[in-house]
Chains A and B, each alone.
Chain A
């Protein structure tokens, strides 16, 4: 059964800093991995989707990497801004089903 973990659980950084969020999954037989952003009391916004055949995806200041062999993905945020403050979730879609397995999230605070 797929298990997804994320570290750190919470992170507080000053504005302008580059940062890395980590995601680990136990079963490397994944179809893809998706990073989401969740604002308090709100839904989930898709940030980046990495297919199993890909190594990384970029969107603006965000870069996500995927290493299936080690069961890891990272989300890199460049030049962080207060508006980036949110909870970031990673979710792995396995080859055996249609459901994403979510990690617990990293709660990010970017201080002005």
Chain B
């Protein structure tokens, strides 16, 4: 069964460092998303991406965050200068038709900021 893959599974970084989280969505999907889940809290929407541009973003997704689809397969989330409160599990998801079909999530990348 097709799956969304994410790397790394766990990253530890120092506060102020840049982090890039990578995702390979399902190959025929066109809509891509990042969500995050701080330990013990709800899953929160960060950003959606379609046709090489951001289609929607939450208030969490400030200037420190950016997303990119550098080639035909990868979808990345960059955090420019990490803060302690960025520590969370980051989930990538993809869909072929938003709303009509299921949203498929990756296993997540755990980010720990020290």
On chain B, the residues within 8 Å of A34 by CB distance are 102-103
The number of chain B residues with a CB under 8 A from chain A is 26
- Beta-carbon nearest neighbor of B110 in chain A: A41
With A31-B99, A32-B99, A49-B102 already in contact, the answer to whether A43 and B43 are too (CB < 8 A) is: no
Which residues of A are in contact with B by a Cβ distance under 8 Å?
31-32, 34, 36, 41-46, 49, 51, 89, 91, 93, 97-105
Closest to A52 in B: B99
Determine if A99 and B58 form an interchain contact, defined as CB atoms under 8 angstroms apart. yes
Task: Give the distance in Å from the alpha carbon of A100 to the alpha carbon of B95 in the complex.
Answer: 12
Least CB distance from A73 to B in Å reads: 15
B107 at the interface (CB under 8 A from A): yes
Interface string of B43-56 (1 = CB under 8 A from A): 11100101000011
B75 at the interface (CB under 8 A from A): no
Contact across chains for B107 and A102 when beta carbons are under 8 A apart: no
**Would you call A46 and B43 a contact (CB within 8 A)?**
no
What's the minimum C-beta distance from B104 to chain A, rounded to whole angstroms?
A: 7
Binary interface profile of B, 78-114, with partner A (CB < 8 Å = 1, else 0)?
A: 0000000000000100000011111111111010000
B contact residues around A46 at 8 Å (CB):
102-105
- With a cutoff of 8 Å between Cβ atoms, the chain A residues found around residue B105 in the complex are 36, 43-46
CB–CB A44/B33 < 8 A: no
